[in-house]
A and B are shown apart, each in its own frame.
Chain A
Amino acid sequence: MSKQILIINITRMGDLVQMGTLLQRLQHEWPGAVVDLVVDHRFAPIAGLLPHLRHIIGYDFHRLVDESRAQTKDVVTLFRDMTRWAAPLVEARYDRVINLTFNRRSGLLASYVGAKEIRGIAAPKDGDVAIHNPWMTYLTDVHSQRQFNQFNLVDIYALGGSGPGPFAPLSLTVPPSATQWAGEFFAPHSGEQIPWVAVQVGASDAMKAWRPELFGQTLASLSRRTKVGYVFIGTKEERKAIRIAQTTYRQAGGTAPLCDAVGRTTLPQVAAVLAQCRLLLTNDTGPMHLAVGVGTPVIDLSVGHVDFRETGPYGLGHWIVQPDMSCAPCGFDQVCFHHACNEQLVPDQIAGLCLHVLTGADLPAVMTGVKIYRSRVDEDGLGNAELCAGQENLMTSWYGRFWRRFWYEQFTGLSSQVPPSVELPPDWTDAVTLLDHLTPLAASLVSKTEELVRLSKQRPLPVAALKQMQTREHSDRQHVVALSMQQPATASLAVAMVRDTHSDDGSELIGMAQSRLATYRRWQRRLQSVATQFRSLRKPDPRVNHGVSRPLPMARSA
C-alpha cells in the first residue's frame, strides 16, 4: 500500500513553490507515495501547479482568525466546524505529517491530525511546541547564526521532510488555460519581437522592497541599451509603488513598451506570464519563486532583511544582488529606520546585469556597493550561490562553508562532497583555545547528568540530592552556553544543544534525565568533531593579523 503523507504549508505563496523539491524527493524516498496538502485557500491555486499532490485541502484561515477573534461564532460552532473539516485528515491515518508552517497553531493542527511520524513543529503532550527532525530544528534556529547559513529553504524542506537525494529543480505546471490567457495578453505586442522582462516592484513587506523610483531608473537605463519590453506584475495593493516606478521610468527617458498585468491576473496566469518572459527583475517575493518554477531567470534584489542564502532563487541560472553593508541583511525581526541598503544598488549597474542576463553582454566592469551572486547546484546536489562580483567577509565565507559541510554530514550521516576550506579561519587561535576549554566542561556536564539519571532511578527518590544535582546541571549548562556563544566555532553547536533541551520528550523523571543526557552527549560528540577538525588544520602564522572575533547574539536563554 502506498505511503500517505500530509504536508501543512499554510501561510505564504513562496513557501508553497519552494516545497517543489520536497514533493519530488518524497517520490524518490517512497515511490508512489500519495501526498495531501493543507494550505490557506488563497494559495490553493498555486498548489494546483505543483506536482505529485493528491488532495489540496484549502481552508480560509484568515476567516477563522476574524471569526474566532470577533466571536462571531460560539465555541461549539467553531469547534464543530473545524473538527468536521479536519475529520478526513484524522481518518486518513497518515504515515507522515510534514509541518512546514513554523508556528504554534500549525503544530497543534499537526498533533491533532496525528501520524506515525511528525516532522516540523508539533504539540507534545502538554500543548507546548516541540520541533521534530534536525533540519526543521535547524531552520527554526537559523536566525541566530544567519550569516553562516548556506542552506536554501528548498533544500531544508526536502531534507527535513524527506531526506537526501538527487538534485531536483523547482517545477510548476502551468495550465493550458493560463498559458492561453498569457498569449492573449501579449498578443497586441506580438509584432514587436522583443524580449519581455517581468518586473515585480512590490513585496509583502516594505522592508524587503527596493525603492520603486530605482526600479524606474533601472528600466529606463536598460531600455536605452537594448530592445526590450516590460511587464509589470503585482497586486492591486502594490499599484501605488508600481505607478511611481512607471512615472520615474518615463521621466528618466524610458523608451521600451510597458505592459501592465497588475491586479488583472490569477496566480496561474502570473506564472504563465512569467513563463513567457526572458527575465524577472524582482524583490524577494512569491512571484520570484514562481519564475524559478517556470524556468525564467531571475535577478533577485535582496534588500532589507531578506537573506538570499535562505530564501533566494533555487537552482541554476539566477542572479542575486546583495547590498555590501555590515548590517545587511537586517536581523530577523529588526525594524530598519534608514533603508540605506536601497541606495547601495545603482540603477545603471543593475541595468548592466540585466543586459548581461538578456544578451550575454559582459558583466559591468564596475559594480559598487554590492555583491553579485549566481545561483548554482553544489557537489552534494544542493542549491547554493557563487560570488561573481564584490567581496565576502572572510569569517562569513569560511564559517558558512564549514557549517554547511558539518551540519549536512551530521544530519544526513553522509560524507559531504563539498571540498573543505583549505584556508584557516581568521579566528583559528581563539577558536581552538575555546574548544580546548569547553572539552572538559562538556565531559563534566555529561558526568553530572549521568549522576542525575542514576539518582532519578533510586527509590525512595533522593529528593534533596536530585534537586542539588539539577541545580548544578542547570548552572553548568548556562556556563557552557554563554562561553560557546562567543565564537562562531562553537555557537551553532550550543544553539542546537539548547534547542534539543527544549525538545526533551521524556514524560517521567527518569525519561527526562535520560533525554537530557542524550542531548549533552550529542553536543559533546559534535564538539569533539569540531575540535578535531580545527586541530587538524595547519597552525597559523602568528605574524598575520586574522581580525578580531566578535561574540554572537544568543537566540534564547538556556
Chain B
Amino acid sequence: MSHFTVNVMRLAARYPELAASLKAARGEVLTIESARNGSPSALRAGRWIHSSYDPLREAETWADSQAPACHAGEIIVIAGIGLLYHVEALRKKLCPDIAVAVLIPNMDEFHDVLSARLLGPWSEHILWLTGTPHDIAQTLTAAGQPLRCLSYTPASQADVDFHSDFEQALRRGIARQAGGQLTIALVGPIYGGSLPIVGYVKRALETLGHRVQWIDHSLHAASYEMMGTLKDVRNRQLMQSRMAEVLSQWTLATLAESPPDLVLSLAQAPLTLPVLEHLRKKKFLTAMWFVENYRHLTYWQQMAPGYEYWFVFQQGLCLDAFRQAGARHVSYLPMAADPELHRPMSLSEEERRTFGADVSFVGAGYANRRRLFPALLRHPWSFKLWGNEWDGAGDLRSVLQLNGARIDTATCMKVFNATCINLNLHSSTGTGLDPQADFVNPRTFELAACGAFQLVDHRSQLPDFFTDQEMVSFRTFDEVPGLVQRWLGDPAARQAMATAARTRVLDTHTYVHRMRDLLAQIGLSQPDRVGALLRGDRQQEALLSRCTDDPSLESLLKEFPAGQRVELKDVAAKIRSKGTTTTLKREELMVLMLDEYRSETRDLL
C-alpha cells in the first residue's frame, strides 16, 4: 500500500469527510525531493518549504523554540503544513493536555504531503482544520479553550491570504466573546494629531468594560512648546529630548503606582527605548498604535524592538519594515470614528451660515493642498477652507476661515455637518495627490460617521472599508470640479450616499471595533495572559472552579461576588479590611506575603 493509502486510512477513522476530500484531490502542488540526509523534503512553486539538508533537525529546532510558550489546556494552531515534520516534532514535545491543530488551506497540497511521508501514531493526536478561514475560526472560538497561533513560515507563506483571513476571523471571533475586564494604561503624546485619538480610544475601551488610566502628557505641552522658542537648534532639541526622557520616567512612576494589564501608547507617546526595555524586563505588556504614516514619521525604526505589540494602519511593506526593524509583533489596525463625537448634528440657521458652504475642507496646509486647492476657486459654488498652517498661501486667503486658526473638534464637526460636499484630500509633501495612496485617514471615517457627504482622493485600502455606494472617490484632482458640480445638483443622492457610509462606520469602523480587534490580537498572542483576562478566566467563578481541591483558597475567593475579576491585591485588601482584631489563618498570611512582593516598586525607577 502506498503512503497515501495508509495515511488516509488512518485519518478516515476520525475525519471521514476529510479522507473523502483527499481521495478526490489531485495533488501536484509540491515537488518532493530527497534532502541531503535522505529524508523527503519539498519545494512549492520553486521554493523550499523544508531544509534541503536535514528537515528533521530543522523541525526539531523550530519545535524547541515554540514549545516553552505552550501551556496546558491550550489549543496550538499551526499555520504552514510543509511535510508535517515540524508538527510531528512539536506534538512529541508537548504534553497530552495541550492540543495541536493544523490548518489545511489547500487539499491538493495535503494530498502531496500524505503521499510523501508515512505518518506515525502521533498524527492521531492532531486536529486537522479544513474549510473556509471563517468556518475554522468559528469552530475554534466555539471550543472556548485558550488558542495559541504558531506559524511555520517557510510553508505558510504560500497561503498568506488564507492565513491572514483566518487570523482576522479568529480575532473577530475572540473579540466578540471577550467578556473580562482589563486595566489599561493609555499613554498619550504631548501634542499632535494622535492626541484626540487618545480620547476616542479611552472611550472605546471603557465602552468595552475595561478600566482605563490615561497618562496625559498634553498637560506638559506648554513647557514643551516653550522650549521650541529656543533659537539654538541644538539646545532646543537637547531640552526637548531631556523633557521627553523625564516624561518617560514619569510614565514609569505612574505605572508603578498601579501596574496595568496593558500599557497602550499612541504615536508620539514619550516613552523611550530604555524605559520600554525596562518595562519588558519587568514583565509589563506594552503596545503601540502607530497612527501616523510610517513613511513620513520614521522614529519607529529606533523604537521597533521596544514595544511588544505594534499596530499600524498601513499594510504590506509597512508590516515588513516594522518587522525588519525589530518589532516582535506587528498587526494591521486601520483608523476609525467615534460616533459619540462624530455624529450628525442639528445646527441652527446661524451655525449653518457660519460653518456651512457648498464645498469645505478642514485640515492643515500641506504642500499638495496648497498646490491643488486654488483650482476650486472661481467656480459658481462656495468654498471654505478651515485649519492652520496656511501661512503664505496667498491665493487661498479669501476662503481661509478664522485667519487660519487651529480648529477644535467641536467646530470641525459643525463644518462637516453644515457642508454640502466635504473635500477629503490626504496630505502629501508633493505637489499632487499622494503617490503612495494606501491608508485611509481618520477624516474619512469621521465624515462618514457624521453622515456628511465627502469626496475623497482614492486610496488602495478604501474598498476594504466602503463600497462605491457608500463613498465617492477621485483618482485625479481634475475630476473634483466635475464631481462637485454633479453631486451639488443631487442632494438626495448625496444624502443616500452619506447615510450608507454612516451605517457602515457604525457597523464596522468605530474605535470600539478597533479596540476589540486590538485586544483580541494581543489575547490571541498571549492566551494565558490577556487572552485569559478577555475570556473571563480571572473572574470569581472561573477561579473558584479551579480550586475545589483547596478549601482554604476557595473560602477566600467565595468572599467575592460572581462575575467580579479577582486578583491577588483584591484578596489581600479583603483580608486587611477585617481589621487588626482577627486572628489570621495560614492561607491569609500567604496571601499577604505574596501581596507584599506585589507591592514592590523600588526596582521600577
A residues bordering B, Cβ < 8 Å? 61-62, 64-72, 74-76, 78-80, 82-83, 86, 103-105, 108-109, 111-112, 114, 123, 125-128, 507
Residues of B within 8 A of A103 (CB): 596
| B376 CB–A CB distance under 8 Å | no
Residue numbers in B under 8 Å from A112 (CB-CB): 586, 589-590, 593
Q: How far is the CB of B80 from chain A (nearest CB, A)?
A: 29
Task: Tell me if B284 and A70 are in contact (CB < 8 A).
Answer: yes
The answer to whether A79 and B537 have CB atoms under 8 Å apart is: no
Tell whether, in the assembled complex, residue B590 and residue A65 are in contact, meaning their CB atoms are under 8 Å apart: no
Within 8 A of A (CB), among B540-568: 543, 546-547, 550, 553, 557, 566-568
Contacts of A127 in B (CB 8 A): 575-576, 580, 584, 588-589, 592
Q: Which of B261, B583, B600 is within 8 Å of A71, CB to CB?
A: B261
Q: Provide the bound-state CA to CA distance between A76 and B587, in Å.
A: 12
> Chain B residue with minimal CB distance to A68?
B598
B466 to chain A, nearest CB (A): 40
B576 touches A78 (CB 8 A): no
The 6 closest A-B pairs by CB, nearest first: A105-B596, A108-B593, A68-B598, A126-B580, A70-B283, A125-B583
Cβ contact within 8 Å between A86 and B590 = yes
**Which residues on the A side are within 8 Å of B579 (C-beta)?**
126
Q: For A75, list chain B residues within 8 Å (CB).
A: 538, 543, 557, 566-568, 570-571, 591
> Which residues does B use to contact A, with CB under 8 Å?
259, 261, 281-285, 529, 532, 537-538, 543, 546-547, 550, 553, 557, 566-568, 570-571, 575-576, 579-584, 586-600, 603
Residues in A whose Cβ lies below 8 Å from that of B547: 76, 80
Cβ distance A96 to chain B, nearest Cβ, rounded Å? 18
**In the complex, are the beta carbons of B546 and A76 less than 8 A apart?**
yes
Report yes or no: A109 in contact with B568, Cβ–Cβ below 8 A.
no
Query: How many interface contacts (CB-CB < 8 Å) are there between A and B?
Result: 109
Interface pair B590/A79, CB less than 8 Å apart: yes
Q: Are A67 and B283 in contact (CB under 8 A)?
A: yes
Of the candidates A103, A108, A111, the one having the most CB atoms from chain B within 10 angstroms of its own CB is A108
New contact pairs (16) apart from A70-B282, A76-B547, A127-B575, CB-CB < 8 Å: A68-B595, A70-B259, A71-B259, A74-B543, A78-B594, A79-B591, A108-B589, A108-B590, A108-B592, A109-B593, A112-B590, A112-B593, A123-B584, A125-B582, A125-B584, A127-B592
Q: Is the CB of A69 within 8 A of B282?
A: yes
Shortest Cβ distance from B575 into A: residue: A127
Among residues of A, the one whose C-beta sits closest to the C-beta of B570 is A75
Chain B residues with CB under 8 Å of A104's CB are 596
A65 CB contact (under 8 Å) in B581, B588, B598: B598
**Selected contact of A74 from candidates B281, B567, B583, CB within 8 Å:** B567
With contacts A108-B593, A112-B589 taken as known, whether A76 is within 8 angstroms of B580 at the C-beta atoms is no
Smallest CB–CB gap between A503 and chain B, Å? Answer: 14
Is B529's CB under 8 angstroms from A126's CB?
no
B283 x A72 contact (CB < 8 A): yes
Closest to A83 in B: B590
Bound-complex Cα distance A72 to B260 (A): 11
- Judge whether A65 and B589 touch: CB under 8 Å: no
Bound complex: CA A67 to CA B594 (Å): 10
Query: Would B584 and A69 count as touching, CB distance under 8 A?
Result: no
Contacting residue for B580 out of A80, A86, A128, CB 8 A: A128
Question: What is the CA–CA distance of A80 and B568 in the complex, to the nearest angstrom?
Answer: 12
B259 proximity list for chain A (CB < 8 A): 69-71
Given the complex of chains A and B, what is the CA–CA distance between A88 and B582 in angstroms?
Answer: 27
> CA separation between A330 and B596, bound complex, in Å?
28
- A103 CA to B281 CA in the complex, in Å? 24
With the chains together, A293 CA to B472 CA distance in Å? 82
Per DSSP, chain A at the interface is helix
In the bound complex, what is the Cα–Cα distance between A76 and B284 (angstroms)?
A: 20
* Cβ-defined contact, A80 with B550, below 8 A: yes
A sample of 24 inter-chain contacts (CB < 8 A) reads A61-B597, A64-B594, A67-B283, A68-B594, A68-B595, A69-B597, A69-B599, A71-B567, A74-B532, A74-B537, A74-B543, A75-B538, A75-B543, A75-B566, A76-B543, A76-B546, A76-B547, A79-B553, A103-B596, A109-B593, A112-B590, A112-B593, A126-B581, A127-B575
Please report the C-alpha to C-alpha distance between residue A70 and residue B285 in the assembled complex, in whole angstroms: 8
Chain A: CB-nearest residue to B602: A65
Q: Is the CB of B583 within 8 A of A69?
A: no
Q: Determine which residue in A64, A76, A103, A108 has the highest number of CB atoms from chain B within 10 A of its CB, and name it.
A: A76
Question: Would you give the shortest CB distance from A102 to chain B, in whole angstroms?
Answer: 13
CB atoms of A68 and B583 under 8 A apart = no
| Bound Cα distance A79, B588 (Å) | 10
Q: Find out whether the CB atom of A111 lies under 8 angstroms from the CB atom of B589.
A: yes
User: Which of B546, B553, B587, B597: most chain A CB closer than 10 A?
Assistant: B597
A81 → B minimal CB distance (Å): 9
Contact A65 B600 (CB under 8 A): yes
Question: Chain B contacts of A125 at CB under 8 A?
Answer: 582-584
- A76 contacts across to B, CB distance below 8 A: 543, 546-547, 553, 557
A400 to chain B minimum Cβ distance, whole angstroms, is 32
Expressed in whole angstroms, the minimum distance between the Cβ of B309 and any Cβ of chain A is 15
* Chain B hits for A64, CB < 8 A: 594, 597
> Would you give the shortest CB distance from B58 to chain A, in whole angstroms?
31
A residues near B532, Cβ cutoff 8 Å: 74
Cα A101 to Cα B567 in complex, Å, equals 27
Residues of A within 8 A of B543 (CB): 74-76
Q: Are A72 and B580 within 8 A (Cβ)?
A: no
B344 CB, min distance to chain A CBs, angstroms: 42
Which of B283, B285, B584 is in CB contact (< 8 Å) with A126? B584
CB closest residue in chain B, given A111: B589
How far, in angstroms, from A69 to B580 measured CA to CA in the complex? 25
CB distance from B549 to the nearest CB of A (A): 10
- Please indicate the chain B residues that have their CB under 8 angstroms from the CB of A62 in the complex: 603
CB proximity of B308 to chain A, nearest CB, Å = 12
The complex places the Cα of A104 from the Cα of B576 at a distance, in Å, of: 14
Smallest beta-carbon distance A486→chain B, Å = 32
CB-defined contacts of A128 to chain B, threshold 8 Å:
580
Q: Complex Cα distance A127/B596, Å?
A: 11
Residues on the A chain within 8 Å of B594, using CB: 64, 68, 78-79, 82
Question: Chain A contacts of B553 at CB under 8 A?
Answer: 76, 79-80
Q: Report chain B residues within 8 Å CB of A67.
A: 283
In angstroms, how far is the closest chain B Cβ from the Cβ of A352?
Answer: 39
Please state if B283 and A66 are interface contacts (CB–CB under 8 Å): yes
Given contacts A76-B553, A79-B594, are A65 and B603 in contact (CB under 8 A)?
yes
User: Which residues of A lie under 8 Å from residue B595 when comparing CB positions?
Assistant: 68
CA distance A386 to B576 in the complex (A): 49
A62–B604 Cα distance when bound, in Å, is: 12
Chain B's closest residue to A70 (CB) is B283
